[in-house]
Amino acid sequence: MKKYKYLLPVAIIATGFWACGDENTTATDCTTEQCLIDKYGEFNADSANLANQQTHNADSGLGISDGPNVIGTPTDSSGNVNQEPIVTPQDSNQTGDPAGAQNDSIPNNSYTSSSSLTSEPVVGSSSSGHHHHTSSSSVGDVKPAESSSSEEVIIPPTPENNFVEDHRSECQIGNIPSSVNNAKLPDPFMGLDGKRISSKDDWKCRREEIGAMYEKLMFGTKPRNPEKVEGSYSGGKLTIKVTDKGKSGSFSVKISNAGTKDKPKPAMIGFGGGMMGGCGSLGNATNGLDIAQITFNPDDVAPESGGGMFFQLYNQGQGTIIAWAWGVSRIIDALEKTPEAGIDVHHLAMTGCSRWGKGTLAVGAFDERIALTIPQESGSGGASLWRVGAQVNKQKGKQFVQGLSSAGTEGRWMISSFKNYDGKENTLPFDQHMLVAMVAPRALLILDNAGQEWLGEVPSNYCGQASKEVYDALGVTENYTYSQEGGHAHCSLPNGQFDEVKDFMNKFLLGKDAKTGKIDYSKNTQTINFKKSEWIDWDTPTLN
């Protein structure tokens, strides 16, 4: 047989197999053309350009994008970052645009891609085929050359790295309106260009548009791709050090029941510390599940009293919720680079209750590496509709449900100007069903407490039902459950919701069969009647 020589280093071969999730495969296990055809599918010798392009992208760490497109940060004439976010606060007595924001498009800024997200091989991936993995169904072509081997060697292409924080860099964000006139729930499928999306591929950038809207009007900018993230693990503690724009900061998380470098475990990241303690508030619902627990104290990144590591690095007027979401993203960055922590980063869940339920939803919405999101009793600012909450309060003649102004000023959760939408909820270009929708198509279990009036039994229930429309459109109804049960204390998960937690964790973290996908509020304390036509005036498409 004619001898050939490698075009690419053997290391690239190993990386290609590793990134496909086959941890036990080496560069020499499968080198013949027939073997590769059997392993990867039909070999297409005409696809050299594609293979070369994939290799170039993987080597440069750029994916398929020419450059990121992120939310801009306002600067003064000297180039310093302004303290206020893009949205300028306006007196609530003024008319017109509640937030005083300009309908500007999102500028292209020169953020660089983080090597921790794109250029390193994934460590500790599972072979269960979780949907975050993008495996190659066919082998790309490489040009043959001389080799000392007696067999023809074909190098499979490096698969596209789809395990990323988000896809903002691939999407052009158009003009974001700061005010609309819509008493019904805004259409999650309507793009900023005025056209409805029609395919599952379209959802990738539509969810980025929704995220950009939330950053501009409610949460503030989530900084992406810091210059350097480092992780060190010792004694059950992972220390994360972040360096960006000449500044550095660090924080730590506790890890219990971890796996090993060779046998990593799925993990639940839970808000903890302070009055809540523990790792989330799921109680004994996780008993018997062989998963690791990672406890994240948000005060280590952005305490609600002000200051903190995040704001030492980025002081752009953000709220604490987006700061917490940024912190969890950096935890994942560090876990990817620290395999000795024994965590399977491809099977991570996030949970928290009350204000940390709001944070949990934001984490899942803004980081696609979270496989399962479980916000518990998140209330206003979480999985609860602003428009419906305002209607309930108007009917009650008092602030029965936490209103927008109250939530907009408590705990520094949101940017300072968001409170100006209070009483003008119908002018919001989004409602919380759209934040929930950002998690789709990944797994989402929303847990609510029907007995907590302040959290909004009705607006939370309606949000749960409206959010399901996006999962239906994407054909992944089984990935979503909304569960509401009363008769228990705040952040004390009742036994009736244990099975739902176990089912979701078994299915989406451990790869076991389980029945998921429903709307369940049969144990509520009052009758709830969601009239879809009252709140939704758009059709739910079937996205192809």
Give the residue numbers marked as catalytic.
354, 490
CB atoms within 10 A of CB 134: 14
8 Å CB contact between 113 and 68: yes
In the block, residue with structure tokens 């939310």: 71
SS (H, E, C) 77-136: CCCCECCCCCCCCCCCCCCCCCCCCCCCCCCCCCCCCCHHHHCCCCCCCCCCCCCCCCCC
Residues 6+ apart with CB under 8 A from 402: 379, 380, 389, 454, 455, 456
Integer Cα distance of 19 and 122 in angstroms? 6
- State the alpha helices, DSSP H only, in 367-478: 386-396, 404-409, 432-437, 457-473
- Partner residues linked to 343 by β-bridges: 265
Integer Cα distance of 161 and 185 in angstroms? 35
8 Å CB contact between 295 and 272: yes
DSSP conformational letter for 427? G
Integer Cα distance of 107 and 16 in angstroms? 35
Nearest to 224 by CA among 122, 112, 307, 64: 112
Q: Give the 3-state secondary structure of residue 26.
A: coil
Token output for 399: 């602030």
- Partner residues linked to 482 by β-bridges: 446, 519
Pairing relationship of beta strands 265-271 and 343-353 according to DSSP bridges: parallel
Rg, Å, the chain Cα set: 24
Token output for 401: 């449900």
Provide DSSP, 466-485: HHHHHHHHTT-GGGEEEEEE
Integer Cα distance of 362 and 143 in angstroms? 46
One-letter amino acid of 420: N
Token output for 174: 């158009």
Q: Buried b vs exposed e over 426-452: b needs ≥16 C-beta within 10 Å?
A: bbbbbbbbbbbbbbbbbbbbbbbbbbb
- Partner residues linked to 271 by β-bridges: 296
Integer Cα distance of 491 and 379 in angstroms? 12
Provide DSSP, 43-74: B-TT-HHHHHHHHHHHHHT-TT-SS-------
8 Å CB contact between 233 and 340: yes
DSSP conformational letter for 231? E
